[in-house]
A and B are shown apart, each in its own frame.
Chain A
Amino acid sequence: MSAVPSPERIERGQHLRELAAAAAGPLVSILIAFVGLLVIIFFMGRILPIDPVLAIVGDQADASTYQQVAREMGYDKPIVQQFLIYVRDALSGDFGRARLTGNLVWTDILSVFPATVELATAAILIGAILGIPLGVTAAVNRGKPLDHILRVVMLMGHSAPIFWLGLIGLIVFYATLQWVGGSGQLSLYNMDIVPRVTGFILIDSLIAGEVEIFQDAVNHLILPAGILGYGSTAFIGRMTRSFMLDQLTQEYVTAARVKGLSRRQVIWNHAFRNIRVQLLTVLALAYGGLLEGTVLIESVFSWPGLGQYFTNALLIGDMNAVMASTLVIGSIFLGLNLLTDIFYKILDPRTR
């Protein structure tokens, strides 16, 4: 045990410091953005045309009840103080009660969130499985008719209103062809049979050993996830194409070809290998977009997730739930942004 650290230790220390430095910049801006998010959402709750106090006390209440509730809700305090109270409550997970369910909003969100994550994750897998090969193919065939056809096919997914695709998909694949399950996460008679452990029905059904319920869940997942995933194909494919073009014009590609490597080897083993990091960041960004997409698709498929919770809250103007859902989705967005930035700083040789 010498007092002088070994060269590896020094190197590792340096590496850690670099990591920290790489993370610090984005972290600060994300923190600022988070505060901004809180401000925006706070004001969202204040421009409401409905008087929030009145919504609680009801129109039969007299002036003294009204004032008492207004005091309890902190509406008599200066706006900055109200904001600070909001931030304090939000950070401790206190978003008040949802008008619709009567539960704490936070409890509601925790219970619906896994369904959304399950949907968005399946969708990003489908988006990547479709988008990356298509993007690579388009890059390799740049300018040829295939490039244009692929572009239109991918852009279609990005241009079609997903709620409309969902409706058509239900009629074609569920009602007519009977290939997939209908709306909802499970067949109704399978609801609430598997005990809730993780909240993810795919995992919970396997834990409980209910293979049939697992299959039922996959059957219901495949269509909404497919439509969402198709929607993200355009973005993923376009970025893949663009990254690949960068690589394919570089010298080593020509060199490798000269060396006698097959075209396929060059494309997948060399060029594609080099863009993996970039693609990861693209996927992270696309994932954020998918979380947004769930808002519309969940309402079509009666998917019991955050998106449906959010739209239901919207429709009855339940601002507690609206604000909390926005905050949750916004925070995940920010988190993904942060992740992307750090990825870039650490893994991309050019920014290092």
Chain B
Amino acid sequence: MLHGVVENAGAKAADAESRQVSRLLSFWRIFRTDFSGMLGLAAVGILIVLALLAPVIAPYDPYLQSLQSTLLPPSARHLAGTDELGRDVLSRMLYGARTTLLVVVSVSVLVAPIGLLIGICAGYFGGWIDRTLMRVVDIFLALPSLVLALGFVAALGAGTENAVLAIALTAWPPIARLARAETLTIRSSDYIAAARMYGASSFRIITAHVVPLCMPSIIVRVTLSMASVILTAAGLGFLGLGAQPPSAEWGTMISTGRKVMIDHWWVAAFPGIAILVTSLSFNLIGDALRDALDPRKA
């Protein structure tokens, strides 16, 4: 008898998971028709490939200075010119893509588990835990994230790691809120009730059932915030609070390129375009995702 229940619960879980998969599939079908969204996705794909291959395809060492060839305009030898220390701007941009993606990935890796943990705990346990956690989330949601991030970096000290921490600190609440909402729907489903009846621990239910079911929407939500993560990181770099020289980071590159911008536009212009294109791509994806989630508005 008991055995049957468990099997049944297992089947229902599998069923729920497959429903989740089909939801994703239909979601993808809508997304696919969105031209600008697909354009963004393609651009991000290319960016990832370029970043991964940077050591292979970068024409020069991004840190190699050559004081004899400073501030050369774009040419066949240096497609994006050289900077004030004679470093190849294109190579630095390619390596900068790595920094940017690293920041995006680190923030996501930090933010997703925190958001999930808090959101699921709130949704799963309910009661005062829910109320307290959601209060905290609301507080963070109501605060100016860039200003808080800047404040925290000022307190922690400049640097890529601290920038990631500061951005993560302000980026988790929307994830938590979403995870809670998802958990609420999942919690009330039959197979969770069955699993609980069988005596599965909360820990096991959460890790084995709730988390996997929450993942797709969390991934979507994380993607939505990537553009703003990139811009915040670039802003920190620009103010000198992000990545430190000589590391190649787009915001920092603009900040140094600013010193020579009048005569040597390429030093600051190209990293700016890189940020613009990347963040625009993520925004286009995000926009299309939002439309796909709410087909009426497409």
Contacts and interface: CB of A to CB of B under 8 A. Distances in A.
Interface of A: 29-30, 32-33, 36-37, 40-41, 44-45, 47-49, 142-143, 148, 151-152, 155-156, 158-161, 163-164, 167-168, 171, 175, 234, 238, 241-242, 245, 249, 288, 291-292, 295-296, 299, 310-311, 313-315, 317, 319, 322-323, 325-326, 329-330, 333-334, 337
Given A164-B268, A164-B275, A33 B239 contact: no
A40 B151 CA distance: 10
A271 to B, nearest CB: 15
Contact of A160 (B35, B276, B284): B276
Interface in B28-53: 35-36
List of 4 A-B pairs having minimum Cβ-Cβ separation, nearest first: A36-B139, A164-B272, A159-B280, A159-B279
B66 to A, nearest CB: 26
Contacts, number: 151
B224 to A, nearest CB: 12
Nearest to B154: A314
B167 to A, nearest CB: 14
Interface string B149-188: 0111111110000000000000000000000000000000
Main secondary structure, interface of B, reads helix
B110 interface: no
Contacts of A49: 155-157
B231 A326 contact: no
Given A155-B280, A329-B147, A315 B239 contact: yes
B139 A41 contact: no
Residue of B235, B258, B262 with most chain A CB atoms under a 10 A cut-off: B235
A42 B275 CA distance: 33
A44 B151 contact: yes
Given A175-B262, A245-B296, A295 B147 contact: yes
Interface in B273-298: 275-276, 279-280, 282-284, 287, 296-298
Contacts of A325: 147
A238 B268 CA distance: 30
B144 A168 contact: no
A48 B155 contact: yes
Nearest to B284: A155
A292 to B, nearest CB: 5
Contact of A32 (B139, B251, B276): B139
Contacts of A295: 146-147, 150
Contact of A33 (B35, B139, B251, B254): B139
Contacts of A152: 36, 280, 284
A171 B261 contact: yes
Contact of B254 (A48, A164, A242, A337): A164
B243 interface: no
Most buried by A among B140, B148, B258, B296: B148
A151 B36 contact: yes
Contacts of A148: 35-36
